Amino acid sequence: MGTITTDDGTQLYYKDWGSGRPVVFSHGWPLNADSWEAQMLHLASNGLRTIAHDRRGHGRSSQPWHGHDMDTYADDLAQVLEALDVRDAVLVGFSTGGGEVTRYIARHGRARVSKVALVGAVPPLMLKTDANPAGTPMEVFDGLRTASLADRSQLYKDIASGPFFGFNRPGAKPSQGMMDSFWMQGMMASHKATYDCIKAFSETDFTQDLQKFDGLPTLVIHGDADQVVPIDAAGRAVKKLLPHAELKVYEGGPHGVTDTHKDRLSADLLAFVSN
């Protein structure tokens, strides 16, 4: 564990576990590197080097007022990879982190990267537009912003107890531990960073960025019961844009599959990295 300092003076906290081929994880909103702990432990225990940083304004990283956009997130990731001299990496992005990884490829190329995995990821575009009718209406994201300003602690509790882990579905067995972890990670992040990030993950169009993958081995994992980033506008849309990608659909999987389906996800990532 340690920190690096970016060109604009932001300190980014990171974990660096194990040794071997590097697997670099980018987390979702409003979380931090801790959200990947199950996958990091499993892969590091199987001969791989696992790295995850807290995005600027999140977790244990510093809380700058500026830079809460996908271009800066991608540039921060580039500086993490450079500082740690990461090569032949497998990049794994969950939700917002999937956008970060995708924008990284578009802005910084593939010299340090050999494979990419997108898990419940936001690309190609979350927002509903005339060209993206399967997307989520702006009113939903405006509602998130309003709720964040009104009582963001309660917002995170509502998300965790409802759609994120699918605990609002019939027959679900809620885990207080998962809900508490989500809330705690969210409250570690800066109010400004989490507020601005709503625009970053919802309105950034990654359609052109995905074209830069061009044959790069890509694994797409998405739950077909994802209420946060619906599979038709995300995972299945990525598959259409990248016919070479492998799409694994987790039947009944909610958004937070890193926890609810952690064993299956860890095994699938290990197989993908190892092949």
- pLDDT tens digit string along 236-256? 999 999 999 999 999 999 999
Q: Which two tokens stand for residue 99?
A: 């956008």
pLDDT beyond 80 at 5 = yes
Q: Quote the CA–CA distance of 75 and 78 in Å, as a whole number.
A: 5
Query: Residue 187: what residue type?
Result: M
Query: Which residue from 179, 167, 20 is spatially nearest to 86, judged by alpha carbons?
Result: 20
Q: What is the DSSP string of 4-46?
A: EE-TTS-EEEEEEES-SEEEEEE--TT--GGGGHHHHHHHHTT
Q: How many residues belong to the chain?
A: 275
CATH number, domain at 217?
A: 3.40.50.1820
pLDDT at position 1: 67
pLDDT at position 186: 98
pLDDT at position 97: 98
**95-120: pLDDT as tens digits:** 999 999 999 999 999 999 999 999 99
Active site residues: 95, 226, 255
Q: Which two tokens stand for residue 243?
A: 């016919």
Tell me the sheet residues that pair with 23: 50, 90
**Domain membership of residue 109 as a residue range:** 2-274
Query: Residue 80: what residue type?
Result: V
Tell me what the mean pLDDT of segment 78-94 comes to: 98
E strand or H helix that includes residue 251: none
pLDDT at position 18: 98
Residues 99 and 93: beta-carbon distance below 8 Å: yes
The domain tally of the chain equals: 1
Q: Report pTM.
A: 0.97
Handedness of CA 8, 9, 12, 17 (dihedral sign): positive
**29-69: pLDDT as tens digits:** 999 999 999 999 999 999 999 999 999 999 999 999 999 99
Residues 24 and 61: beta-carbon distance below 8 Å: no
pLDDT at position 100: 98
Percent of the chain having pLDDT more than 90? 99
Task: Please count the other Cβ atoms lying within 10 Å of the Cβ belonging to residue 104.
Answer: 30
Q: Which two tokens stand for residue 209?
A: 């960025």
Percent of the chain having pLDDT more than 70? 100
Q: Which two tokens stand for residue 136?
A: 């989520």
**190-215: pLDDT as tens digits:** 999 999 999 999 999 999 999 999 89
Average pLDDT, the chain: 98
Tell me what the mean pLDDT of segment 226-234 comes to: 98
Q: Extract long-range pairs of 271-274: CB within 8 Å, 24+ residues apart.
A: 272/90, 272/115, 272/117, 272/217, 272/219, 273/21, 273/23, 273/43, 273/48, 273/90, 273/115
